C-alpha cells in the first residue's frame, strides 16, 4: 500500500508533549508493508503463508527556515496529523515512529525544503505514548540485553545396539533409558552509548551469569513463561556496530537446582 496526500499540519509528540509542529507541509507519503514467508512442499505446492514483519514508512516534506538539530537524534515520536485552519487535511495518529532520516535542501535564498522520514514497526493500532513491544529474557533478575529470544535444542538419551544376525539395530529410546538434555541458546541484542561501554557491559554480564542454577524467564509484554534450573555455560559476541552488539548465550537445563 502506497498513499500520498497533503495535510494541514503535523505535530511530533513525546509522552503527549509537543516537540515540534510542522507547517506548512508540501507533501506526505505513507508506505505500509507486510513481509511474509512461505512454506512450500517439494512439489512446489504452497502449504502456508506466515506474516513475519509489518512496518510503515512516513515521508514528509515541508518549508523550513533553518537546520533543525533537534530532529536528528533518531528518537521515537507520536505523529499527529491535524487539519489546517480551513479544516482541510487528513486526521490520524501514528504512535511510536522512529526518525530515520533528515534532509535539508535550499531552493533559494532564505527558503529551503526539509524532508524527514520515520519508520514505524508493527501494526497501526498502537495508542500514542506506547513503545514497540520487544521480547526480553532474564536469568534470575538479570535481563540479557535489550531484547532476546530463545532457541531450544533437545538431545534424547537414545542407545542403539547392533544385532549380528539381523539387518537392523535394537533401539532403546529416552523413555526406556531416561535422561535427555535440553540446551538453550539465547540470542540477544544490546545498544550502548560507546563501544567501551558496550564491551564493559558484556564482561560484567558474563560475571553476573556465573551464579549456579537459576530460572530463565521469557517475557513478551504481559505474557511470559519460565524455564527452571538453568546453568549458563558460555557466550560470544558477533556482528553489530560500535554501539550495538548481537551476542548469544548458551544455557543447559539441569535436573537439580
Cell of 191: 545498544
Residue 199 domain-assigned (yes or no) = yes
- How far is the C-alpha of 189 from the C-alpha of 246, rounded, in Å? 5
- 151 and 181 housed in the same domain: yes
Q: What is the strand order of the sheet 181-191 is part of?
A: 142-143, 135-139, 214-220, 223-238, 244-253, 181-191, 147-155
Residue-wise pLDDT for 177-209, tens only, equals 777 789 999 999 988 888 888 889 999 999 889
In a domain, 163, yes or no: yes
Domain boundary among 94, 121, 148: 121
Burial environment of residue 215 by CB neighbours within 10 A (0 to 12, 13 to 18, 19 or more): middle
**Is residue 126 a part of any domain in this protein?**
no
* pLDDT single digits (tens) 8-20: 789 999 888 999 8
Q: For the domain that residue 150 is a member of, what is the CATH number?
A: 2.40.30.200
pLDDT bracket for residue 116 (50, 70, 90): very high
Amino acid 6: pLDDT = 56
Q: Answer yes or no: is 127 within a domain.
A: no
Q: Is residue 129 part of a domain?
A: no
User: What CATH number is given to the structural domain containing 78?
Assistant: 2.40.30
**Domain match, 238 and 192 both:** yes
Which grid coordinates belong to 176? 526406556
Give residue 198's domain range.
135-253
| pLDDT number for residue 181 | 86
Q: Is residue 142 over pLDDT 60?
A: yes
Q: What's the pLDDT tens digit per position in 31-71?
A: 998 888 777 877 777 777 777 788 999 999 988 878 888 88
- Does the residue 7 lie in any domain? yes
Q: Which residues lie closer than 8 Å to 175 by C-beta, 6 or more apart?
A: none
Question: pLDDT tier at 115 (50, 70, 90 boundaries)?
Answer: very high
- Report residue 173's pLDDT band, with 50, 70 and 90 as the boundaries: confident
Grid cell in block for residue 195: 563501544
Please give the helix or strand (H or E) that residue 84 lies within, else none.
Answer: none
Same domain, 245 and 195: yes
The answer to whether residues 37 and 114 belong to one domain is yes
Q: Are residues 82 and 7 located together in one domain of the fold?
A: yes
**Could you tell me if residue 141 is inside a domain?**
yes
What proportions of the chain, in percent to the nearest 5, are helix, strand and coil? 10, 60, 30
Across the chain, mean pLDDT equals 84
Domain end residue (candidates: 96, 121, 146): 121
The answer to whether the CB of 183 falls within 8 A of the CB of 152 is yes
Residues 140 and 99 in one domain: no
Express each pLDDT in 63-107 by its tens digit.
Answer: 887 888 888 777 899 999 887 666 666 778 899 899 999 998 877
106 in the same domain as 22: yes
- Residue 170: pLDDT band with limits 50, 70, 90: confident
For residue 128, is it within any domain? no
The total domain count for the chain is 2
Query: What is the C-alpha separation between 115 and 246, in angstroms, rounded?
Result: 31
Does residue 247 share a domain with residue 154?
yes
Shared-domain flag, residues 39 and 117: yes
The model carries a pTM of 0.70
Which secondary-structure segment (H or E) carries 202?
Answer: helix 195-209
Of 121, 156, 177, which residue constitutes the final position of a domain? 121
Distance CA 49, CA 38 (A): 5
pLDDT at residue 101, rounded to an integer = 92
Amino acid at each position: 500500500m502506497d498513499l500520498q496526500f497533503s495535510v494541514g499540519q503535523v505535530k511530533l509528540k513525546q509522552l503527549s508533549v509537543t516537540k515540534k509542529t510542522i507547517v506548512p507541509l508540501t507533501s506526505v507519503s505513507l508506505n505500509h508493508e507486510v513481509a511474509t514467508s512461505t512454506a512450500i512442499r517439494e512439489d512446489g505446492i504452497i502449504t502456508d503463508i506466515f506474516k513475519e514483519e509489518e512496518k510503515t514508512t512516513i515521508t514528509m516534506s515541508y518549508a523550513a527556515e533553518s537546520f533543525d538539530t533537534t530532529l536528528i537524534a533518531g528518537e521515537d515520536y507520536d505523529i499527529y496529523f491535524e487539519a489546517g485552519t480551513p479544516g482541510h487535511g487528513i486526521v490520524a495518529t501514528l504512535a511510536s515512529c522512529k526518525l530515520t532520516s533528515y534532509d535539508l535542501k535550499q531552493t533559494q535564498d532564505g527558503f529551503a525544503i526539509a524532508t524527514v522520514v520515520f519508520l514505524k514497526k508493527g501494526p497501526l493500532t498502537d495508542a500514542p505514548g506506547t513503545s514497540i513491544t520487544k521480547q526480553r529474557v532474564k536469568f534470575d533478575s538479570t535481563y540479557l540485553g535489550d531484547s532476546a529470544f530463545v532457541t531450544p535444542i533437545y538431545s534424547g538419551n537414545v542407545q542403539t545396539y547392533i544385532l549380528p544376525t539381523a539387518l537392523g539395530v535394537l533401539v532403546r529410546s529416552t523413555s526406556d533409558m531416561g535422561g535427555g538434555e535440553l540446551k538453550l541458546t539465547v540470542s540477544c541484542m544490546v545498544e550502548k552509548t560507546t563501544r567501551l561501554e558496550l564491551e564493559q557491559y558484556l564482561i560484567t554480564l558474563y560475571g553476573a551469569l556465573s551464579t549456579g542454577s537459576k530460572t530463565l524467564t521469557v517475557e513478551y509484554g504481559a505474557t511470559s513463561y519460565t524455564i527452571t534450573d538453568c546453568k549458563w555455560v558460555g557466550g560470544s559476541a558477533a556482528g553489530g556496530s560500535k554501539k550495538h552488539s548481537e551476542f548469544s548465550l548458551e544455557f543447559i537445563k539441569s535436573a537439580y537446582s
